[in-house]
Structure 1
Amino acid sequence: MASSAVSKFKQFFALDGTMPADDSYMAEDNAYEERSSYGYQPTHAAHSDYTPARRSPQPSVVPVDVRGFSTVRHIGEAFRDGNIVVFTLSELPRDEARRVVDYAAGLCHGLRGRMQKLPRTSFGLIPEGVEIETYELEDALEF
């Protein structure tokens, strides 16, 4: 009985030396014809709903009122557009505030920015190459 379970496991994950005969899976995708400096560029990308963010030459400080983890997209959108984002977590439960901080840290890492701790469970997200004083970030929290 155990050997049949092991053989079924091997067969399911194609560890028994057989591969499923699915030609559509193995066929080449012709959508990747154009090349860019980063590799293949799909030809259908120009027709998608995605519009790249436009970075402003002078970033503004955007205070975001975080009322729960469901509102963190406002942090991401403002930071992705190249703005400085400040937010406070004093109204959130500890576990939800931790999720927001983790999300913000991931944004900073992915977009090469930095995160600065401010007083009263507040934080500032600063894009790469932008210099700002701490008091300017604190002033923006007065929303």
Structure 2
Amino acid sequence: MTVAELNNKVIGAIILIPYDKLDKLSIETDIKQINKIEGFTEKILYIVNSIKYMIFRECRRGNLYISNVATDEKARGLGVGKMLMLYAEQVAKKEDFEGISLLAKNEKVTKFYEKLNYNKIFDRVLLGERVIKMAKVL
């Protein structure tokens, strides 16, 4: 994780995961989550929800995956998100990734990524939830 700071206060963060580590981290996280969930039905619902992300692959071979980008509400509009995204692209280029992929949670966020030249690769409703995958070739 990398953070953006202003006056010694964290105002943004980004989590980058290389494609070859994403599956292992996802499985480890899922196992931890399943162990915390109470009730058989709730566990099954969690597993079914996790399967949809396996169906379409969040990140293809050769890409860097952006797991999360967040900015403090008070810092929105200052360019922090854009700065973090540009940082991700620098890391990807330095480490010889072919591109970057991510999941956008809604149209507003999608428009932000489109301004940075990310393209929608996948936009469908899976198991009742809209999934928007975006990517950029470097």
TM normalised by structure 1 equals 0.28
Q: Which has the bigger relative contact order, CA under 8 A and spacing at least 6?
A: 2
Q: Which of the two has greater strand per residue?
A: 2
**Structure ranking higher in helix proportion:** 2
Instruction: State the structure with more CA Rg.
Output: 1
